[in-house]
């Protein structure tokens, strides 16, 4: 086979027959290749090839060292779904590049539903790039970010929610996020959305049947055939539940942000260090130590939590301290929860009360620190408004009460035990679409209750359907897919 060679980034690449040119200049029929393992040195590295030329490329570069067809014979048979041991050669001079294992997954039983070859070689950057270069010279082009998964979606192996879950699984920051992504990947969300689509389609079919038989096409609904109760029970209720799960899903995926606030010297930085289990923030006996917000992430009960230690808030004329205080106030506005720290051994003062006023309307957990300074068994006297917030008593110094505080943080975030819960949505795209579908379905229910013309009802149901179909990727426009898959890493 003769191949025209072009040069790209210093590597000679065989020209590919171009068929359907995609929005990024790629063609859907190209054979694509990329390094599938993370950059850096590792025991093994994997190069993945997908497309019609994958097997030919393998035959050009691989020589088996076991079995009937030994080295220097490119006419060997690739055994499907087996690992073959052999050497990877440069066909230009037959030079041995590496000892490798080669897997052949013929279409349609592969990740992309195309022919897929995976070459497991030694995991050094130079080896991997050398082999990738040879693969590109022998008929593949470099894959774009997410292109393997995009092909799995285009070829119908997974829906769009499952494709998105692949990226979420790779990027998971905690076990909770990982479990959520794994459930979505195995089709949890897809099944829910498909169920809703099926109900809406049934209803739409009934409405359209009635419309067909009506004379003017705008008659009211005949009693009892399509009820708003059924729509609420089968569609609106479940959709509302899915929409409400976003807050939890987002927190699981992105982590929870939590600011530690209070007046100077109450022990915020000491508590921060205790929670993150290392001495990251500076602690001194001098009020006004922390200026810049200090951030660190930890996992509590499978949930990633970003803690922010902030400057102590008080009336100050020091311009540097004032900037720090300004940053504390900004942090309080953007977090999911504020830990408001006061001291147990000293009476509360105006600085405490001012901060309390600022945080008490928001999601706040009151923490009373330095309980080691109290006589044993003593509990500090707190004003009613504070006591009603069910404070947590701790000593950042001794660690007393920290486990209780961690539990209360998870409770306050509404995340308790959520690592195990049912399918939830964590993607803004899903939230926007499900809320739009919900709005249309509620409008449809009103149309039924108010006996509005049936063509209006049909329109509402169709609009709701389009939104739900968008979630699973039915009829998704190429630019929407580009936006989704460009977030993926190359090789996935």
Ligand X SMILES: Nc1nc2c(ncn2[C@@H]2O[C@H](COP(=O)(O)OP(=O)(O)OP(=O)(O)O)[C@@H](O)[C@H]2O)c(=O)[nH]1
- Residues lying near ligand X in the complex (CB under 6 A) are found at 262, 264-270, 283-285, 287-290, 311-312, 369-370, 372-373, 395-397
If binding means CB under 5 A, how many residues of this protein chain bind Mg ion?
4
Report in angstroms how near the CB of residue 244 gets to ligand X at its nearest: 36
Rounded Cα distance between 45 and 131, Å, is 11
**Among residues 310 and 469, whose Cβ is nearest to Mg ion?**
310
Residue 287 contact among Mg ion, ligand X, none, beta carbon within 5 to 8 Å by kind: ligand X
Q: Residue 182, SS3? A: helix
Burial of 28 (C-beta count, 10 Å sphere; 0-12/13-18/19+): middle
Residues 491, 148 contacting (CB under 8 angstroms): yes
Of residues 77 and 323, the one with the C-beta less far from Mg ion: 323
Of 393 and 488, CB closest to ligand X: 393
Which does residue 396 touch among ligand X, Mg ion, none (CB within 5 to 8 A, set by kind)?
Answer: ligand X
Cβ-based nearer residue to Mg ion, 268 or 408: 268
User: Could you report how far apart the first and last alpha carbons of the chain are, in Å?
Assistant: 30
Question: Least distance in Å: CB of 307 to Mg ion?
Answer: 12
Break the chain down into helix, strand, coil percent, rounded to 5. Answer: 40, 20, 40
- Site membership for Mg ion, residue 269 (CB under 5 A): yes
Question: What residue 54 binds from Mg ion, ligand X, none (CB within 5 to 8 A, per partner kind)?
Answer: none
Least distance from ligand X to the Cβ atom of residue 435, Å: 41
The yes or no reply on residue 290 touching Mg ion (CB under 5 A) is: yes
CB 45 within 8 A of CB 124: yes
Q: Work out whether strand 11-14 and strand 32-35 pair parallel, antiparallel, or are unpaired.
A: unpaired
Closest CA to 47 of 183, 138, 109, 113: 138
Length of the chain: 492
User: Shortest approach of Mg ion to residue 403 CB, angstroms?
Assistant: 22
The answer, yes or no, to whether the previous bond of 143 is cis (omega within 30 of 0) is: no
Please identify, using beta-carbon distances, which residue of 20 and 315 lies nearer to ligand X. Answer: 315
CA angle, residues 53, 57, 62, in degrees to nearest 5:
150
Name the binder of 338 from Mg ion, ligand X, none, CB < 5-8 A by kind: none
Q: What is the DSSP string of 184-205?
A: HHTTHHHHHHHHHHHHHHHHHH
User: Interface with Mg ion by CB under 5 A: which range of 215-223, 262-270, 400-408, 478-486?
Assistant: 262-270
Site string for Mg ion, 221-260 (x = CB under 5 A): ----------------------------------------
- 310 contacts Mg ion (rule: CB under 5 A): no
- Give the nearer residue to ligand X in terms of CB position, either 302 or 369: 369
- Least distance from C-beta 314 to ligand X, angstroms? 9
Please tell me the number of Cα atoms within 13 Å of 397 on its side-chain side. 14
Query: Contact between 273 and Mg ion (CB under 5 A)?
Result: no
**Cα Dmax for the chain:** 89
For residue 51, the number of C-alpha atoms closer than 13 Å in the C-beta half-sphere is: 25
Residue among 114, 118, 112 nearest 36 (CA): 118
What number of CA atoms fall less than 13 Å from residue 39's CA on the CB side?
2
Q: What binding mask, one character per residue, do residues 150-189 give for Mg ion by CB under 5 A, x or -?
A: ----------------------------------------
* Distance between CA atoms of residues 469 and 34, nearest Å: 31
CB 44 → ligand X: shortest distance, Å?
46
Of Mg ion, ligand X, none, which one sits near residue 397, judging by CB under 5 to 8 A according to partner kind? ligand X
Looking at 75-83, 180-188, 249-257, 268-276, which segment touches Mg ion (CB under 5 A)? 268-276
Pick 239 or 283: Cβ nearer ligand X:
283
Q: Could you give the angle at the alpha carbon of 74 between the alpha carbons of 72 and 78, nearest 5°? A: 120
> 256-261 and 303-309: which strand pairing?
parallel
User: Strand 42-50 vs strand 116-123: parallel, antiparallel, or unpaired?
Assistant: antiparallel
Q: Which does 84 bind (CB under 5 to 8 A by kind): Mg ion, ligand X, none?
A: none
Residue 334 C-beta: closest distance to ligand X, Å: 19
Contact characters 384-413, Mg ion, x per CB under 5 A: ------------------------------
The nearer residue to ligand X, 191 or 397, going by C-beta atoms, is: 397
Give the Cβ contact number of residue 237 at 10 Å: 11
φ, ψ of residue 99 to 5 degrees: the values are -90, 130
Closer by beta carbon to ligand X, 3 or else 398 = 398
With CB under 5 A as the contact rule, which of the stretches 9-17, 283-291, 414-422, 451-459 interacts with Mg ion? Answer: 283-291
Please report, as ranges, the residues that interact with Mg ion according to CB under 5 A: 268-269, 289-290
């Amino acid at each position: 086979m003769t191949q025209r060679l072009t040069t790209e980034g210093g590597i000679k690449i065989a020209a590919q027959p171009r068929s359907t040119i995609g929005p990024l200049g790629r063609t859907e029929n190209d054979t694509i290749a990329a390094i599938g393992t993370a950059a850096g040195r590792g025991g093994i590295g994997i190069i993945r090839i997908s497309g019609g030329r994958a097997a030919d490329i393998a035959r050009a570069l691989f020589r088996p060292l076991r079995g009937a067809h030994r080295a220097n014979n490119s006419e060997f048979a690739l055994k499907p779904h087996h690992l073959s041991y052999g050497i990877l050669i440069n066909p230009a001079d037959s030079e041995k590049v590496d000892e490798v294992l080669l897997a052949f997954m013929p279409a349609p039983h592969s990740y992309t539903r195309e022919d897929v070859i995976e070459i497991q070689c030694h995991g050094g950057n130079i080896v991997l790039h050398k082999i990738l270069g040879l693969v590109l010279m022998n008929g593949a082009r470099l894959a774009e970010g997410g292109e393997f998964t995009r092909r799995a979606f285009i070829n119908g192996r997974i829906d769009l929610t499952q494709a998105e879950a692949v990226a979420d699984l790779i990027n998971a920051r905690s076990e909770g996020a990982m479990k959520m992504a794994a459930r979505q990947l195995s089709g949890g969300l897809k099944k829910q959305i498909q169920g809703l689509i099926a109900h809406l389609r049934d209803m739409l079919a009934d409405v359209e049947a009635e419309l067909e038989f009506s004379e003017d096409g705008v008659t009211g609904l005949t009693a009892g055939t399509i009820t708003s109760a059924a729509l609420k029970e089968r569609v609106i209720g479940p959709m509302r539940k899915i929409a409400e799960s976003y807050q939890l899903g987002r927190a699981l995926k992105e982590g929870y942000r939590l600011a530690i606030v209070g007046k100077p010297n109450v022990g915020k930085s000491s508590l921060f260090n205790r929670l993150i289990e290392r001495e990251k923030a500076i602690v001194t006996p001098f009020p006004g130590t922390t200026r810049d917000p200090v951030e660190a992430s930890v996992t509590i009960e499978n949930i990633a939590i970003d803690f922010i230690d902030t400057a102590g808030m008080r009336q100050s004329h020091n311009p540097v301290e004032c900037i720090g205080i300004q940053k504390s106030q900004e942090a309080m506005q953007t977090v999911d929860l504020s830990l408001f720290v006061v001291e147990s051994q000293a009476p509360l003062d105006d600085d405490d009360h001012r901060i309390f006023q600022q945080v008490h309307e928001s999601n706040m957990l009151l923490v009373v620190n330095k309980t080691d300074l109290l006589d044993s068994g003593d509990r500090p006297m707190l004003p009613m408004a504070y006591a009603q917030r069910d404070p947590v008593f701790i000593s950042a110094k001794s660690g007393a009460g920290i486990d209780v505080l961690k539990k209360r943080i998870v409770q306050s975030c509404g995340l308790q035990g959520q690592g195990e819960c049912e399918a939830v949505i964590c993607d803004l795209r899903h939230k926007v679409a499900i809320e739009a579908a919900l709005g249309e379905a509620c409008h449809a229910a009103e149309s039924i209750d108010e006996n509005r013309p049936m063509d209006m009802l049909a329109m509402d149901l169709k609009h709701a359907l389009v939104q739900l179909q968008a979630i699973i990727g039915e009829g998704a426009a190429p630019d929407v897919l580009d936006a989704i898959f460009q977030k993926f890493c190359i090789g996935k």
